Amino acid sequence: MKTVQIFDTTLRDGEQAPGYSMNNDEKVRMALQLETLGVDVMEAGFAAASPGDFKSVKAIADTVKASSVCSLSRALEKDIEASAAAIGGAARPRIHTFIATSDLHLKYKLRISRADCLRQIRHAVSYARKLCGEVEFSAEDASRTDIDFLCKAFETAIAAGATVVNIPDTVGYSTPDEFGTLVATVMNRVKGIGNATVSTHCHDDLGLAVANSLAGIRAGARQVECTICGIGERAGNAALEEVVMGLRTRRDAYGGLATRIRTEEIARSAHLLSTITGVRIAPGKAIIGANAFAHESGIHQHGVMSKAETYEIMTPASVGMKQTELVLGKHSGQHALETRLKDLGYDLDEGRMADVFAAFKALADRKKQITDRDLAALAESRVAARSANAKEWKLDSFVVNSGNHMSATAQIALVRGKRRVQDAAMGTGPIYAAFRAVEKIIRHRFTLEDYRIEAVTERRDALGEVLVKISDARGTYRGRGVSTDVIEGSILALLVAVNRMMEARK
Ligand code: KIV
Ligand code: ZN
């Protein structure tokens, strides 16, 4: 069967996006899920960027066996050496080296000539090949590079030993027609192209990353670089799930090409990413959003019930989302909850399951019928909140007073290991007062960057889902909390973000 290789860069380009940073353990967890998903290559990070990046690239390379593990490097010896050292333990290591090739970047960013650029490519690729059997070369800003020079750059890289040449639409400027023509030109004009795999790497600034990637595949590219949920620099990268399901659902339109992705693992991969980063999956997100298979109108519901294909071009099960009519309530046991969460793509370990079950029981006392959307919100918030780290702050109790003729006051007690700390604060509103009380307890100031609250479902007893983004001098941190009480949900969300902030400080 003719295949397209899936190169996942969630842990490198994806992690570069603000608010998506992950710690070492989280990256390894995500890498293991990407391996289960069946990605051919995973870009584990940029080893030379920092000691922390080096450590996580190495940890992933030492752990993952079935996928090739790759580290990014500028076209510099020291970067290439760091990559080689970090991926040395991988079963199938790959060094990815890049340099910009557009005149704009050469003149204003790198301040080098085209001839210097070719020299650097030759040296970097041949140096990398001495250290690793698989070397990928990327021409950054390829889509805005003079085509003759781009072909020369790829020829130089292939002659120096590159096994993959990647065509990035770095700033998401291309259109599908243009990008397809660009790939076709590279395939037809570059000498030695038969010795390398041609790859696409499209950004989503104009919302065309997936369309451009698919156009690249039609034109002959056999590797696609993409990320789970399309996360990445600025507007993000091509979304893996959309590229993969596009190829699978429209095999007729893409020459029968297939991928090795286990598509039933897609929902689980996206949920894990959302859980780790605290960033919610938009309900309308293609393939994995909560509404992606929801049929609201009567006509659609009737159609789907008589024959699913009337309004469904793929089944929820094919991407790992099973639908049943099961509604859980306070009499449901842990087994029913576990089964339902598995169907929704959440495979939780024993400790996390026990934690979600306790939260589920507490919720069932307040809310009669618990829907799938409630369960997903609950699982994601509880899983992100729970950590084996005894140093984390947890909510013990709170009392908040507010009214239209008084200042709001909040009294909060948090526990950290065996310590219980209590404090109170006033504010212009109850959430503000509660957040100030938390700030006093943890003795660390932060800025509230964003605060959002949404009802998970429509009824009066709906769960409130709160998303909080805070920052300090080191970075930004997100948290999510759910509760039928929006003040409790807000404090829980804040504590997830606070614990991430405290961990980053270490
Ligand atoms: O967008 C880009 O050009 C990149 C390269 C480093 C491949 O991420
Ligand atoms: Zn990129």
Q: Can you tell me the mean pLDDT for 256-268?
A: 96
CA distance 154 to 121: 9
- Class (C level, CATH) for 5-36+96-277: alpha beta
Ligand 2 centre to CA of 174 (Å) is 14
Q: Is the pLDDT of residue 122 over 90?
A: yes
Q: Is the pLDDT of residue 304 over 60?
A: yes
Q: Which H helix or E strand runs over 275?
A: helix 266-277
349 versus 195: which is more confidently predicted?
A: 195
pTM of the predicted structure, to 2 decimals: 0.80
Q: Is the pLDDT of residue 314 over 90?
A: yes
Q: Is the pLDDT of residue 326 over 60?
A: no
> How is domain 394-505 classified at the CATH fold level?
Double Stranded RNA Binding Domain (3.30.160)
Coil/strand/helix, residue 423: strand
User: Which pLDDT belongs to residue 324?
Assistant: 52
Testing ligand 1's pocket by substitution, the residue of 76, 80, 164, 203 carrying the most ligand atoms inside 8 A of its CB is 203
User: Which pLDDT belongs to residue 165?
Assistant: 98
User: Which pLDDT belongs to residue 458?
Assistant: 64
Q: Can you tell me the mean pLDDT for 263-283?
A: 86
User: Which pLDDT belongs to residue 143?
Assistant: 98
Atom in ligand 1 nearest the alpha carbon of residue 9: 8
List the structure tokens of 221. 């590219």
Ligand 2 centre to CA of 171 (Å) is 8
Closest alpha carbon to 165 in 194, 144, 208: 194
Residues in the chain: 506
Q: Is the pLDDT of residue 130 over 90?
A: yes
CA distance 435 to 437: 5
The C-alpha angle with vertex 170 and arms to 167 and 171, in degrees rounded to 5, equals 140
Ligand 1 centre to CA of 40 (Å) is 18
Q: Is the pLDDT of residue 241 over 80?
A: yes
Using alpha carbons, list the distances in angstroms from residue 441 to 94, 184, 238, 499: 47, 61, 42, 13
**pLDDT tens per residue across span 69-98:** 999 999 999 999 999 999 999 999 999 999
CA distance 5 to 92: 14
Ligand 2 centre to CA of 263 (Å) is 24
Contacts of 204 (CB under 8 A, 6+ apart): 172, 210, 230, 232, 234, 235, 236, 237, 238
Q: Is the pLDDT of residue 387 over 60?
A: no
Ligand 2 centre to CA of 237 (Å) is 7
Ligand 2 centre to CA of 498 (Å) is 30
Atom in ligand 1 nearest the alpha carbon of residue 140: 3
Backbone angles phi, psi at 33, to 5 degrees: -70, -35
Ligand nearest to the CA of 167: 1
Atom in ligand 1 nearest the alpha carbon of residue 171: 1
Q: Whose CA is nearest to atom 1 of ligand 1?
A: 170
User: Which pLDDT belongs to residue 342?
Assistant: 80
User: Which pLDDT belongs to residue 150?
Assistant: 98
**pLDDT tens per residue across span 434-450:** 999 999 999 999 999 98
User: Which pLDDT belongs to residue 381?
Assistant: 74
Q: Whose CA is nearest to atom 8 of ligand 1?
A: 13
CB neighbour class for 268 (10 Å; exposed up to 12, middle 13-18, buried from 19): buried
Using alpha carbons, list the distances in angstroms from residue 38 to 13, 22, 43: 19, 21, 14
**pLDDT tens per residue across span 161-189:** 999 999 999 999 999 999 999 999 999 99
Q: Can you tell me the mean pLDDT for 268-281?
A: 83
**pLDDT tens per residue across span 199-208:** 999 999 999 9
Specify whether the backbone of 287 is left (phi greater than 0), alpha (psi in -120 to 50) or beta. left
Backbone angles phi, psi at 19, to 5 degrees: 90, -5
CA distance 100 to 124: 13
Sheet with 464-472: list strands edge to edge: 447-455, 464-472, 475-483
Strands 164-169 and 135-140: parallel
Using alpha carbons, list the distances in angstroms from residue 173 to 18, 218, 363: 21, 19, 47
- Of 184-193, 384-393, 473-482, give the range with the top mean pLDDT: 184-193
Q: Is the pLDDT of residue 274 over 80?
A: yes
Ligand 2 centre to CA of 471 (Å) is 25
Coil/strand/helix, residue 124: helix
Ligand 1 centre to CA of 478 (Å) is 26
Q: Can you tell me the mean pLDDT for 117-127?
A: 98
Cβ(224)–Cβ(213) below 8 Å: yes
Q: Can you tell me the mean pLDDT for 456-485?
A: 83
CA distance 113 to 263: 45
Cβ(269)–Cβ(262) below 8 Å: no
What residues does ligand 1 touch, defined as CB less than 6 Å away? 13, 98, 138, 140, 166, 168, 170, 201, 203
Residue 89: how many other CB atoms lie within 10 Å: 15
Atom in ligand 1 nearest the alpha carbon of residue 12: 8
Atom in ligand 1 nearest the alpha carbon of residue 166: 7
**pLDDT tens per residue across span 419-432:** 999 999 999 999 99
CB neighbour class for 438 (10 Å; exposed up to 12, middle 13-18, buried from 19): buried
Q: How confident is the model at residue 301 (pLDDT cuts 50, 70, 90)?
A: low
Residue 399: how many other CB atoms lie within 10 Å: 12
Q: Is the pLDDT of residue 347 over 90?
A: no
Testing ligand 1's pocket by substitution, the residue of 83, 96, 140 carrying the most ligand atoms inside 8 A of its CB is 140
Contacts of 35 (CB under 8 A, 6+ apart): 42, 64, 65, 66, 67
**How would you write 424-468 as a 3-class SS string?**
EEEECCHHHHHHHHHHHHHCCCCEEEEEEEEECCCCCCCCEEEEE
Testing ligand 1's pocket by substitution, the residue of 8, 9, 12, 13 carrying the most ligand atoms inside 8 A of its CB is 13
In angstroms, how far apart are the furthest CA atoms of the chain? 78
Q: How confident is the model at residue 30 (pLDDT cuts 50, 70, 90)?
A: very high
Q: What is the mean pLDDT of the chain?
A: 91
Cβ(38)–Cβ(260) below 8 Å: yes
